[in-house]
Amino acid sequence: MLDMTISSMLKEQIFYALKNIQQPVLVFFGEEDMLIPNRFLHPVSTSEIARKACKEIKQSFLFTYPQTGHFVQIERAVEVNHAIQQYFKGQNPVT
């Protein structure tokens, strides 16, 4: 499955389409993510690629977490849930 996932990421790159997203988006990234970006294919930091992607989305809120890997929603469940709750209460989550 991992082979298929990596293959599809290479074949169906979506970065160019991010500018078409019209809805508000909450983006969560772990600064120690070893999967995105793939260090062999994209030699940039996680923070760099997250910021670059969010610049393409008109209404995005970026949250990055130090000492956190790919599964931010598990590793930082309290913080992620708090940001989501703040957003749905009509408050801009602190980024």
Q: What is the pLDDT of residues 17-38, one digit of tens each?
A: 899 999 999 999 998 887 776 6
- Whole-number pLDDT of residue 20: 95
Q: Does residue 71 form part of some domain?
A: yes
Q: Does residue 14 form part of some domain?
A: no
- Whole-number pLDDT of residue 21: 94
Residue 23 DSSP one-character state: S
Per DSSP bridges, beta strands 25-30 and 60-65 are parallel
Q: Does residue 10 form part of some domain?
A: no
- The residue written with tokens 């989501």 in the block is 84
Q: Does residue 3 form part of some domain?
A: no
Q: Does residue 18 form part of some domain?
A: no
- Whole-number pLDDT of residue 94: 60
Q: Does residue 67 form part of some domain?
A: yes
Residues of the chain with pLDDT under 70: 1-12, 37-42, 92-95
Count CB neighbours of 7 within 10 A: 10
pTM: 0.76
In a 13 Å sphere around the CA of 68, the CA atoms on its Cβ side amount to: 19
Q: Does residue 83 form part of some domain?
A: yes
DSSP output for 35-72: SSS-TTT--S-HHHHHHHHHHHSTTEEEEEETT--S-H
- Whole-number pLDDT of residue 16: 85
Residue 15 DSSP one-character state: G
Residue type, position 35, single letter = L
- Whole-number pLDDT of residue 1: 63
Q: State the residue range of the domain holding 72.
A: 23-88
- Whole-number pLDDT of residue 85: 92
Give how many domains the chain has, as a whole number. Answer: 1
